[in-house]
Amino acid sequence: MRSGPLHAALSAAFLALSLTPTDASSAASRINADAWRAPAQSLHPDRQIELLERKIGQMLVIGFPGTRADEVWSRRAISMLDRSRIGGVILFGHNVRNRDQLSRLTERLNAGGGPPPFVAIDQEGGQIQRLNRRKGFTRLASAKSIANGSLCDAYAAYWATARELARFGINVSLGPVVDLNINPRNPAIGRLGRSYGTDPATVVGFATQFIDAHATAGVLTAAKHFPGHGSAVRDPHHRVVDITTTWQPNELEPFSSLASDDEVAMIMVGHLIHPRFSDGTRPTSLSRRTLTEALRDDLGFNGLIVTDDLGMDAITERYGPEEAAVMAVRAGADLLIYANQKPDDGAFVDDVIAAIAAAAVSGRIPISMIDRAQARILETKRRLSFVPAEGDDTQPMSPAVAPIGGSFTAADVAAMTAKACRPEAEPRGDG
């Protein structure tokens, strides 16, 4: 925790503030509910601040440069995980050299004593896969290519990838993309082959194979990019994307289907502008109209709401990291992703936590929102903390205990597909 005038101000504010950490049921061994629960009136203000900041920290997922645990930013990330200062990390291609190196890195990331960290990665297939054949991993075709085959073929491909992620200590795959391919020239979706097609039912069918295969391997998934990015003409990595004139109502259908069936653990919100979803000129990722009203209230989604990377130009050209964080939490986000691709400030995590804490103490963010987000996060992390029956490959495997290394034969994949693939419907991709 950082000290100074802000810390003193927060301490003083807590003298008059009742902070009651969320109650949680007993479950996974690494999630100790007692560590997050204590009568507010019995705590010194400094301790109340510490508990609040730990809750906020669980809402942050950050990237870092480095491939070894002993490098500067790797040590920072590991230390923050060990102290529950952050809730997880996101890995990129620059973090991965080969299988042995990744095993050593993720083993250390997962070795802390706090709640199991989210160890996330973009492994959609095609052009978006951080673990690729050149580095010794299983090749995964793009969504567009997979949609030209059957649902069973899709399940087999995603099962092989999901098991590989689990074996290498990765427990969140930031997919599937459920954006409709309305604009094939879309630089962020269509041109990259990231969509299963234009028909919502087809998209849901193949996305469900992605989700189910990963769930069987103990890997969480995140459907993206709400409320639908497929019609856009620009890329939010470079600027904010206005979809006011291109977005179509049927783009909501895949999200609605997955949310209502509780199929997916997370839904990622894009950095988009649309009057139906934006609070004024704010991107959807920072808008209450999107996160709380559309996703929570209208669609009834009970899982984790995740922002797309808050370090994209669509955000940083308009807001600082602290301001964007406060806006996202106020809007209803549970997890805030910072890819941290240009790491020049080792204190940015502390600054973001301090900004959110100050907003909570001042009343700009209801502490009950942070409590609810923390409860959803810890409940989701409990799903990472079970151990499968020995020798039973059909049971989910916790990334924290999954064996490192190894590969699957064609016979392995065929056996898993026969047991778990759902062949009752076989839609074909529509482009």
Catalytic residue among 7, 46, 82, 237: 237
Catalytic residue among 122, 199, 212, 308: 308
Rounded Cα gap, residues 55 and 39, in angstroms: 16
DSSP element (H, E) containing 203: helix 200-216
Q: What are phi and psi of 198, to 5 degrees?
A: -100, -15
Q: Which fold has domain 58-401+408-420?
A: TIM Barrel (3.20.20)
Is-catalytic flag, 308? yes
Rounded Cα gap, residues 326 and 56, in angstroms: 11
Rounded Cα gap, residues 59 and 53, in angstroms: 10
- Around Cβ 265, how many Cβ atoms within 10 Å? 20
DSSP element (H, E) containing 56: helix 45-57
Q: What are phi and psi of 332, to 5 degrees?
A: 120, 15
Going residue by residue through the chain, which has 431 residues, state the pLDDT in tens, using 9 for 90 and above: 444 555 555 554 444 444 444 333 333 456 654 455 544 556 677 788 899 999 999 999 999 999 999 999 999 999 999 998 999 999 999 999 999 999 999 999 999 877 899 999 999 999 999 999 999 999 999 999 999 999 999 999 999 999 999 999 999 999 999 999 999 999 999 999 999 999 999 999 999 999 999 999 999 999 999 999 999 988 777 778 899 999 999 999 999 999 988 889 999 999 999 999 999 999 999 999 999 999 999 999 999 999 999 999 889 999 999 999 999 999 999 999 999 877 666 788 999 999 999 999 999 999 999 999 999 999 999 888 543 333 334 333 333 333 333 344 455 555 555 555 554 444 444 54
Residue at token pair 């990019």? 225
Is-catalytic flag, 237? yes
Structure tokens at 296: 């929570």
Rounded Cα gap, residues 285 and 283, in angstroms: 5
**CB neighbour list of residue 368: distance below 8 Å, 6 or more residues apart:** none
Residue 227: asked if its preceding bond is cis (omega within 30°), the reply is yes
